[in-house]
């Protein structure tokens, strides 16, 4: 499906964030790129972007984005960019002869919203408008949002000044080419060249269907306050995954999200963050071998910091649309190396300071248990998500935190014993759980 994006306006209320609204970076990614990449995740295959104000800069960026992403992006110029947005839609009429998605360059949304909406049929002479029925949505600017009245699943009226209304207009449309005629009709009969004017004409004919977005995310980034709300919403969306253990969920994630917010402003990649976390763990393993408490304590702090930073790679990948299968695999591989070095270093420390066969045995069992917990993670996590979503998860975050706490308390031997017991015990529990399906 083709996608039309309006990006011709000035955006005066967001001018403090940049000279061109579509190019205003939000957590390191320009607004227009966020919209395009979200639509691409939803299945859109070709993008037509109407540009106007400072279009040379916007067009250069779109060309660069097309080259980097491999997406088909075609700019359409609108010399009347200082007038209402319906004219931008009309400029694109020659490029569309079938259904298409219509988006705004400053409206961010959950890709799943558009993906589901794209399955609908607007009909040969109608459109579908995504509406938000949550009238208490904290992301909505009540003074500026366009409101809609809905009757029997269709839009009955639309406008910013509606007193009685049922939902909010999200600015996300699925259109037939009839929208072009509707805007032209609005211009001729009402002298209204806005997109809303065209939608109103179709609504009066019962041709605008409402698509309820439920609780899915969307926001109109129209001013500085909305910009800050959008930042917070995107960061909050980086909340704990179902595979996060308690340390990740309640300690690491709150800190890593703050780090990711800062890192997003820089051209750092997720794989570079993965490497940084690994090398920090490697340095911790070196310090942990030194037979002095100060070095032991420093190693524990470094290991826990590496564990926190390890969460940033995935967060940056999601925030900046840099997710890849290789990145996830690369992170998992280096995590196993980091675990091996840390536990080997801790075993060496115990053996050097206390000696004895028991130190080597405890270290060996801690290594074996840790790798078995990692090896069984995929099947266990699938079972956890299906049957036991609220169950306490034991994983790498707890293991590293035990090293952190044990080294600070100067109890390296008992840390190895505890890790060995917990990890091997968890592996046996997983075998039983997978075997019984519980």
Residues linked to residue 127 through DSSP beta bridges, in sequence order:
175, 208
pLDDT at 437: 67
Structure confidence by residue, pLDDT tens digits, 43-74: 999 999 999 999 999 999 999 999 999 999 99
Per-residue DSSP letter, 78: -
Within this chain, do residues 163 and 207 fall inside the same structural domain, yes or no?
yes
Question: Do 296 and 192 belong to one domain?
Answer: no
Same domain, 183 and 280: no
**Residue 382: predicted pLDDT:** 73
Looking at the fold, whether 360 and 388 belong to one and the same domain comes out as yes
3-state SS, residue 48: strand
Cβ–Cβ < 8 Å for 65, 36: yes
Residue 237: what pLDDT? Answer: 87
Angle between the N-to-C axes of helices 357-375 and 412-436, in degrees from 0 to 180, rounded to the nearest 10 = 40
Please choose, from the candidates 162, 165, 178, 164, the residue with its C-alpha nearest in 3D space to the C-alpha of residue 210: 165
For residues 268-276, give the mean pLDDT: 97
pLDDT of res. 387: 66
Question: Domain with 366 in it: what CATH number?
Answer: 1.20.120.1760
3-class secondary structure, 291: coil
What's 189's domain CATH number?
3.90.550.10
Report which listed range, 3-17, 231-245, 265-279, is most confident: 265-279
pLDDT value of position 14? 84
- Residue range 408-429: average pLDDT? 95
Alpha-carbon separation of residue 33 from 30, 108, 110, 261, 313 (angstroms): 5, 10, 14, 18, 20
Residues 218 and 322 in one domain: no
For residue 140, what pLDDT is reported? 95
As a whole number of angstroms, the distance between CA 46 and CA 226 comes to 28
pLDDT the model gives residue 242: 66
pLDDT for the residue 24: 95
Q: Show the domain range for 383.
A: 240-436
Q: Quick one: pLDDT band at residue 13, thresholds 50, 70, 90?
A: confident
Q: Indicate if 222 and 355 belong to the same structural domain.
A: no
Query: Of the residues 232, 249, 272, which one is the last residue of a structural domain?
Result: 232
Residue 240 in tokens: 């704990």
**DSSP 8-class letter at 173:** E
User: Does the pLDDT at position 189 exceed 60?
Assistant: yes
| 295 and 214 both lie in a single domain | no
Query: pLDDT tens digit string along 246-260?
Result: 999 899 999 999 999
CA–CA distance, 77 with 184 (Å, rounded to integer) = 19
CB 111 within 8 A of CB 36: no
Helix (H, G, I), strand (E, B) or coil at 335: helix
pLDDT value at position 106? 94
pLDDT tens-digit map of 92-135: 999 999 999 999 999 999 999 999 999 999 999 999 999 999 99
- 96 and 156 co-located in one domain: yes
* pLDDT given for residue 386 in this prediction: 67
Residues 320-340: tens digit of each pLDDT: 999 999 999 999 999 999 999
DSSP 378-424: HHHHHHHHHH-TTS---SHHHHHHHHHHHHHTT-HHHHHHHHHHHHH
What percentage of the chain exceeds 70 in pLDDT? Answer: 97
Per-residue DSSP letter, 252: I
Map residue 168 onto helix, strand or coil: strand
Q: What is the rounded average pLDDT of the residues 183-206?
A: 96
3 state DSSP class of 1: coil
- 349-376 confidence digits (pLDDT tens): 999 998 788 999 999 999 999 999 999 8
- Domain co-membership, 48 together with 196: yes
Which pLDDT does position 356 carry in this prediction? Answer: 82
Q: How confident is the model at residue 18 (pLDDT cuts 50, 70, 90)?
A: confident
Q: Name the DSSP letter for residue 15.
A: G
180 and 227 in a single domain? The answer is: yes
**How many distinct structural domains can be found in the chain?**
2
pLDDT band at 244, cuts 50/70/90?
confident
- What is the overall mean pLDDT for the chain? 93
The predicted model scores a pTM of 0.89
pLDDT score at 268: 96
Beta-strand relationship, 46-51 and 2-7? parallel
Instruction: Place 385 in a pLDDT band, splitting at 50, 70 and 90.
Output: low
Together in a domain, 123 and 244: no
């Amino acid at each position: 499906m083709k996608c039309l994006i309006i990006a011709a306006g000035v955006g005066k209320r967001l001018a403090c964030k940049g000279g061109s609204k579509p190019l205003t970076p939000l957590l390191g990614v320009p607004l227009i790129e966020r919209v395009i990449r979200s639509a691409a995740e939803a299945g859109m295959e070709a993008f037509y972007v109407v540009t106007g104000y400072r279009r040379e800069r916007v067009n250069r960026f779109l060309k660069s984005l097309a080259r980097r992403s491999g997406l088909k992006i075609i700019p359409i110029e609108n010399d009347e960019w200082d007038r209402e947005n319906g004219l931008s839609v009309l400029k694109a009429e020659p490029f569309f002869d079938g259904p298409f998605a219509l988006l705004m360059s400053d409206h961010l949304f959950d890709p799943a919203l558009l993906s589901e909406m794209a399955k609908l049929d607007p009909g040969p002479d109608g459109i579908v408008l995504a509406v938000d029925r949550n009238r208490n949505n904290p992301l909505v600017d009540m003074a500026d949002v366009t409101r809609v009245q809905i009757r029997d699943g269709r839009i009955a009226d639309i406008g910013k000044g509606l007193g009685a209304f049922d939902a909010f207009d999200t600015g996300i449309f699925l259109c037939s080419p009839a929208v072009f005629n509707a805007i032209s009709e609005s211009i001729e009969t009402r002298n209204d060249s806005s997109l809303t004017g065209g939608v109103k004409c179709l609504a009066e004919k019962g041709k605008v269907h409402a698509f309820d977005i439920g609780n899915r995310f969307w926001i109109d980034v129209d001013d500085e306050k909305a910009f800050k709300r959008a930042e917070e919403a995107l960061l909050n969306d980086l909340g704990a995954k179902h595979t996060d253990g308690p340390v990740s969920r309640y300690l690491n994630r709150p800190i890593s999200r703050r780090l990711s917010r800062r890192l997003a402003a820089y051209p750092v990649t997720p794989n570079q963050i993965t490497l940084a976390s690994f090398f920090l763990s490697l340095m911790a393993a070196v310090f942990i071998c030194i037979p002095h408490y100060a070095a032991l304590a420093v190693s524990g702090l470094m290991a826990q910091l590496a564990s926190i930073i390890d969460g940033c790679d995935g967060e940056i990948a999601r925030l900046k649309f840099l997710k890849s299968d290789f990145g996830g695999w690369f992170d998992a591989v280096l995590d196993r190396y980091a675990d091996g070095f840390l536990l080997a270093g801790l075993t060496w420390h115990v053996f050097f300071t206390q000696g004895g066969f028991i130190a080597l045995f405890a270290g060996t069992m801690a290594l074996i248990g840790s790798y078995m917990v990692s090896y069984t993670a995929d099947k266990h996590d699938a079972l956890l998500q299906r049957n036991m979503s609220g169950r306490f998860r034991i994983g790498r975050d707890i293991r590293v935190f035990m090293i952190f706490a044990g080294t600070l308390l100067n109890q390296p031997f008992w840390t190895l014993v505890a890790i060995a017991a917990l990890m091997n015990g968890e592996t046996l529990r997983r075998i039983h759980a997978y075997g019984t399906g519980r």
